[in-house]
Amino acid sequence: ESMEERITRAATAKIVKKAFLEALKSNDYKTLEDLLIQKQIDVDTVFEVEDENLILASYKQGYWLPSYKLKLSWATGLHISAMYGHLESLMVLLDHKAAINYRPNGKAAIHVACEVANVECLTILCNHGAKINCFSLSGHAPLHFCATKASVPCAQLLIWRGANVNIKTNNQDKETPLHTVARFGIPELVAFYMDQGADVDAVNNHMETPLACAVYWALRFKEQEYSTDHHLICRMLLDYKAEVNSRDEDFKSPLHKAAWNCDHVLMHLLLEAGAEANLMDINGCAPIQYVLKVTSVRPAAQPEICYQLLLNHGAARIYPPQFHKVLQACHSHPKAIEVVINSYEHVKSTSKWRAAIPDDVFERHRDFYDSLFTMCSNSPRSLLHLSRCAIRQVLYKRCHKGVPSLSIPPLLKKYLLLEPEGIIY
């Protein structure tokens, strides 16, 4: 053929390809049908399409393409139809024997359907032989892409079609679908997976269980607020007998992670479920040390409740000569200081104490700090306080259970459980 014919053919192919892509985007399935019947274009033609939200592409960890490439993605008609939820176009392509498990940019069409949570698309793909446990290039199975509330029907369909509920990601995370939904906070899927035989104590590559993931991600770092969905998931996992004292690769227990978040709701839940208050992690830190480390950077937290919970469940107290560190961390939270100081019979102040409190904070809480320094001078604490310490010493780890069952007035119970009053006497 002549040069002119070749150029003309290339130009025609380009026009056809453009027309096909436009038809895919607008769900003009009649045009698709016509072009395919006339054999003007291959059904598995790969297009370069905009993919701002990374729905079509899946990259292997550590192998990101240069960033300009991330705006565009390679995709076949199947991927595009799945992304837009165009069922009619999808059916036309499949009738023309489109390659259903093809992954031009690391994802098969089934991954795309799960990511956009379109259960109708997913049903059609499954009916035409899409692989239910296939991995994307980033190592995720379709179940791992079910990560929003909207994708519950998709996950259900996959499991009912025989997807493996305990499949681990084929990458450095080795995460089960239960880990994924515990991390993203989707109680409906946690319940469903547990019902379908998910392993409640499965561990990922960092030795974390789903409970550990849910506890850690319960604090939304950007907004600095706590997620009630994650709290609910922790409650559920504990009801399903998740191991409350599991340890990750750094020997952190779920309680360490809750303490790091200053999440008193979860700390309460875990302690009541039998979490050990004195477990040490790889750095030799118990949970109480984590609360101390982060008190000043958790604006939504109520640190006094965290200290109270730990001390009432037998946590070892902060070493008295180090008490200035409590003041450094908690100077703006007088109630937290009060809880901690009242767990000792008597602590004597040192010169480091006053230095640990900024002047403006000292002035703002003047009455409290005056009472603190008066009580921690040479004179002994009151007989009432010493009796409190004696009773607490006897009850030790059982304070949280023992004190409420004593036949004494409610005010005294609160006193024994270190409820802060705003002043030290």
Over the chain (425 residues), the average pLDDT of each successive run of 10 is: 85 93 97 95 94 84 56 92 97 97 95 98 98 96 97 98 97 97 98 98 98 98 94 98 98 98 98 97 97 94 97 95 95 96 94 96 96 91 95 95 95 97 92
Domains 1-162 and 165-316 share a fold: yes
DSSP 8-class letter at 219: E
SS3 at position 281? coil
pLDDT in tens, 203-227: 999 999 999 999 999 999 899 999 9
pLDDT at 65: 54
Provide the residue type at 31 as one letter.
Answer: T
The amino acid occupying position 425 is Y
Q: Per-domain residue ranges for the chain? A: 1-162, 165-316, 321-425
pLDDT of residue 343: 96
**pLDDT for 58:** 85
Q: What angle separates helix 119-127 from helix 152-160, to the nearest 10 degrees?
A: 20
The reported pLDDT for the residue numbered 61 is: 63
What angle is formed at CA 238 by the lines to CA 233 and CA 241, rounded to 5 degrees? 135
pLDDT tens-digit series, residues 94-120: 999 999 999 999 999 999 999 999 999
CATH node for 165-316 = 1.25.40.20
Which residues are CB-neighbours of 223 under 8 A, at least 6 positions away? none
User: DSSP class of residue 365?
Assistant: T
* Cα atoms in the Cβ-side hemisphere of radius 13 Å centred on 402: 13
Structure tokens at 152: 């519950």
Please tell me the CATH superfamily of domain 1-162, with its number.
Answer: Ankyrin repeat-containing domain (1.25.40.20)
Chain centre distance of CA 208:
12
Rg (CA), the chain: 30
In this structure, are residues 85 and 119 in contact, taking their beta carbons and an 8 Å threshold?
no
Per-residue confidence (pLDDT) for residue 51, from 0 to 100:
87
Q: What is the pLDDT of residue 64?
A: 54
* DSSP letter for each residue of 20-42: HHHHHHHT-HHHHHHHHHTT-S-
Q: What is the pLDDT of residue 69?
A: 55
**Cβ atoms of 72 and 49 closer than 8 Å:** yes
Query: Do 313 and 269 meet the contact criterion of CB atoms below 8 Å apart?
Result: no
DSSP one-letter string for 45-81: --EEEE-TT-SS--PPTT-PPPHHHHTEEEE-HHHHH
pLDDT of residue 53: 86
Residue type, 342: N
